[in-house]
Chains A and B, each alone.
Chain A
Amino acid sequence: MLNGYGGHVLRVDLTRGTIDRTELETEMARDYLGGRGFAAKVLYSEVEKGADPLGGANKLVVAAGPLSGLLIPGAGKTTFAAKSPATGGYADSNVGGMFSAEMKFAGYDLIVVEGVSPEPVYLFIEDDTVELRDAKAYWGQGAITAETMLKKALGEQFQIAVIGPGGENLVKFACICHDFGRQAGRAGVGTVMGSKRLKAIAVRGTKSIPVADVTEFRRVGREMYDFCKASDAWDVWVRLGTAGVNVPSNEWGSFPTRNFQTGHFEDMDKMTGEYMREKIVVTDKACFGCPCACGKYSYTKKWDVHVEGPEYETAAFLGADVGVSDIEDVAYANYLCDDLGIDTISTGNVIAFATECFEKGVISGKDTGGLELSFGDSEAVFELIQRIARREGIGDTLAEGARHAAQAFGGGSSHYAMQIKGLEISGYESRHAPAMMLAYMTADVGAHHNRAWAITYDIEVGRDAVTEDKAAKVIELQHIRPLIDCLGACRLQWVELGMPLDSYVPAMKAITGVDRSWEDLTQVAERVWNLTRSFWVREIDGFGREWDYPPPRWYTDPTPTGPSKGKLVSRENVERLLDMYYEQRGWTDNGLPTREKLDQLGLDFVKI
């Protein structure tokens, strides 16, 4: 019995229709903790180089962490991971809600799905009963619709992870959906699920999670809870959710606008978190064990739909980045993406890219089937979302992602295809934020902000500086938030509410019975970071520095307007940032982990 863990791993082979249950090994828990730690270890060790991301040799990993399912604030995250069909490299994405908690109650820390089912199926888990069930009745249904159907069929207590038509149609940025509006959104984890004809996973558990010191666990959990509730920021995040960041990001000149042409959107009156609260928010939604209900459940009268959101990223990508300025239109686009099961970040980014191409004459009505594209045209956005999910006409090209679309469209459009490593950049225009740009360049799934949200450091120490401490900060952050991902928890308690990070140390000790220092825990994060980097190195011949470069727009086009007007990070500084980062990471100057670094982290099984 492993304190803090469900204790079991489920291995599902969809080709043969077999399910095996094994015990979670102590070494796995010790060296990788859980969440994306488990994902990185499984994917590196078990998915062979060259595996087709859409084929049976790819594995979909679902992982909880030691905090999942326990009453620790923020313990509501589940990690989904696979080799990415979008990038060809490592992918993980986490989702808030209840799923990992229910996995733990059923006794599972890790689910590994390989193979391809001959027919659509869903994985049914109820404590020790695990079976593959016919999903024909659900295949083709929207993700929100399918989750409703499954809960009605199985019972409300089941937690559901489900794909929509986007995943079924292998859109490269399809997401895995859960709890009526939350998603594991990035890098095509939903695409992998669709490629396996796995429509959903339904889980219910009635067991108890073993904890080493229940009294101390309750005391520590209660202390963390009290901190959160007493925080002067608590009511702010409950009122606004992440949409509260729309205004400051715009004031920082970091709100992506019209395909990242600039970082300041002029038309924010109907896009602020406050306007959203007053106009459309109906109620607040929380994840498992979280006292800060940051989810905003909304109803738009204009479009007569309910949606969870829009979150900051969605306000950026289905709003400013496509030139749309009414949060109700953003909410409708959000609803479409959520039910179709495609990532709002990549979807908006790709639509914005197509729109800029159209405005520049790189593509025309011939390519779009007569649909006119212009920034601010929300009806065109709604139409393109649907064409992408159904892979119709130009939607088929856009469904492959911005990098591919730029290659298909030509006309020099790669200059402003806002992606790194094949993953569309998320919501921070970074020409006046070198640390944030470095964070995007080095994020281990392609450009994503949640590994190292470094923009506040740029602001704190001076935005123009391109200095060693910025590289050091990015590395430090890459060992913190991803560590919280390994634990199965959310960063909100720390980033938004200011909870001290070392709160996790006594929590982990009380739960697991093992006293690990914060340094020891962050070393796990460093191990996982080097392992995911090594996955890319092995998968992609010639992988190295040039894969870390940002799109040319970010080092050749000065920001034209707003608070960051005139700013960019020069190509020379891009190289300097990478030089400093690689050196501090103990990697070669081409960005590859050295034998020495790998051995220091216990990664002797990684061959270089």
Chain B
Amino acid sequence: MIEVTNLTKVFGAKVAVDNISFRVEKGEVLGFLGPNGAGKSTTMRMVTGYLPPTGGTVTIEGNDIVDAELAAKVKIGYLPENAPLYNDMSVEDFLAFCAEVRGMSGVERSKAVDRALDTCFLQPVRHQSIDTLSKGYRHRTCFAQSIIHDPDVLILDEPTDGLDPNQKHEVRGLIRRMGEKKVIIFSTHILEEVEAACTRAIVIDRGKVVADGTPAELKSKSTAAGQVRVRATGLAGTGIRQELEKLSEVKSVTVIDSGDNYFSGVCEATKAGNGEVSKAVFRMCVDRKLVLEELSPEEGRLDDVFREMTRSDTED
């Protein structure tokens, strides 16, 4: 379990992380969202013990990261941003070195290296020098380093950055699988990743937590949630629009495209009519003998929520 309490980091006059608190239990995969410069990496660096906090505490499985530094660090596997590596080593030597620093030797060490190579699909490059690797392999080598000691806590700073779509898919799958037995925090600004791999997500903006919940909870906060996209034919576009606006469940209609014989647009629901719009539209089309070509309720989109919550950032 990771418990973060009132964590604060001040660089000179800039407050990078402002009084953040959260806890992550075993079996949870926490997605850390936020625009660039929101304080994601700084928070992770404090949680892993790289940066000392200005205020607040972090405990890893009950060990304080400042007072019981080594005991806490033993439990953590960390993939820093940009996947730093010792370029002059081979993949295998690098992993062996990391295992040795973590106190493994002999057979135990070579087993751990083999397991990490297998898990991260690194067997084909195990003897290759790290400076000759492609970005995807580099990233996975650093990822392998973070799981070499089978840690209870895994902290990943942008684990899919720079990977191609197939590799992203693999890494997400890996995170989801490992998340069943571990505590995982990972940061990203790719929102589909949150839906694909997280059980919970935290959005931070300017060093503060602005939202905390499951991906579905976050999506329902979107203004788009409850909207319905409609495309119908059989009447002039303006006529269909008027019919839609007459419905009591519909607050407003936005036109996407409209012509002599068709209409396409988005209906926004009134408060009372939320969830009822699609039924009402369907009934209206049956009554007027219109052909309904599309009727799709929006369940809300994470990137809208993300933009709404962190918009303040781009306005300065």
- A and B: bona fide binding partners: no
Chain A residues in the interface with B (C-beta under 8 A): none
Residues of chain B touching chain A, judged by Cβ–Cβ distance below 8 Å, are none
